[in-house]
Amino acid sequence: MEKTKELKNIESQFKTFQILNEEGEVVNKKAMPKLSDEELKELMTRMVYTRIWDQRAISLNRQGRLGFYAPVAGQEASMLGSQFALEKQDWILPGYRDIPQIVYHGVSLEQAFLWSRGHYQGGQMPEGVNVLMPQIIIGAQIIQNAGVAMGLKRKNKDAVAITYTGDGGASQGDFYEGINFAGAFNVPAIFVVQNNRFAISVPVEKQSAAETIAQKAVAAGIHGVQVDGMDILAVYAATKEARERGLAGNGPTLIETLTYRYGPHTMAGDDPTRYRTSDLDDEWEKKDPIVRFRKFLEGKNLWSEEEENKVVEQAKEDIKAAIKKADSAPKQKVTDLIGFMGEELPYNLKEQMEEYKEKESK
């Protein structure tokens, strides 16, 4: 089917926003965010730390010491660049892969590991940390994000609500309902679609006839932008602008980050070699966000191999300590789970509670 002139005009508005190219060179000086040298180094520190954390988490999963885990290598710039643009009072509604964002927003590594294990303590977010428990239902967090943003607006809070999903999540009905509601009520919401090209195994080209996911914002009457998700500065700048737009009362933003996950969708048996080619993997490895940003910082004499090695060793120590603490958490009981079902339990759960209390006492 040939595209109409109007559709071609819409698609032409969504050119990929980029600041650093693959060689770490600044190609968009006007868009360069105002970050101090220390802030630039902190961004690199977080990406390196997260890459090591990811490697260790995969290893721990294979050892049977972690439960559910969705690898993040390749998506560090998309995740961490967006979170870095937030303030403490902002709310994050993560999907199941978005653990790095909530850890840098105040959740401990220990708790992240407990969540992976399905332990109830993993879902008990610390007081003062504005994070919801990672959502397993694909796309459900989109609607929830619109609701949280509505609450922030009604209470005149100086904060935004941000949520994340993948390209597969953008094919869900909840995605359209959420961005439509947010646009209709002009709420301070940010929707980040991390387009890693494969919704588990389905290529993005087979999920939608649209040239970009960002252009879906047009139908909802909100702002949309497509960003090079391997460029941490571009992701940071786009998110910061979206936050400022939301706080100024100018509505929500849909951000599509073009990124890539180097590993499987999750560690639950997915084999990416069945649906991805080695040539495609090689193409995206050349765009690696850490390699790109390292080149940029080295060109400014802000990074060295010695500094990176320190980050690597610190990450290994922290992860070792966190998993040890997670191991010492109290063994989860059925009565724990029943007790959290509601403030006042209905009669059937009360009966089950008494039944399991008796069993656990033996």
Query: Is residue 276 among the annotated active site residues?
Result: no
Q: In what order do the strands lie in the sheet with 253-258?
A: 91-93, 161-166, 189-195, 253-258, 223-228
Spacing of C-alpha 8 from chain mean position: 30
Helix (H) or strand (E) holding 165: strand 161-166
Token digits of residue 78: 């998309």
Query: Distance (Å, rounded) from C-alpha 258 to C-alpha 231?
Result: 9
Q: Find the catalytic residue in 261, 276, 292, 294.
A: 261
Query: Is residue 275 among the annotated active site residues?
Result: yes
Query: Is residue 262 among the annotated active site residues?
Result: no
Token digits of residue 318: 């922290």
* 198-199 and 202-203 strand pairing: antiparallel
Q: Find the catalytic residue in 120, 176, 275, 356.
A: 275
Please say whether the dihedral angle defined by the alpha carbons of residues 205, 209, 215 and 217, taken in this order, is positive or negative: negative
Name residue, tokens 């789970």: 337
Residue 30 makes CB contacts below 8 A (sequence gap 6+) with none
Name residue, tokens 């996950």: 261
Q: Find the catalytic residue in 56, 119, 223, 265.
A: 265
Name residue, tokens 């994000």: 145
8 A C-beta contact, residue 255 and residue 239: yes
Please report, in angstroms and rounded to a whole number, the separation of the first and last CA atoms in the chain: 69
**DSSP 8-class letter at 195:** E
Burial class of 31 by CB neighbour count within 10 A (0 to 12, 13 to 18, 19+): middle
Spacing of C-alpha 347 from chain mean position: 39
The residues annotated with a catalytic role in the active site are 261, 265, 275
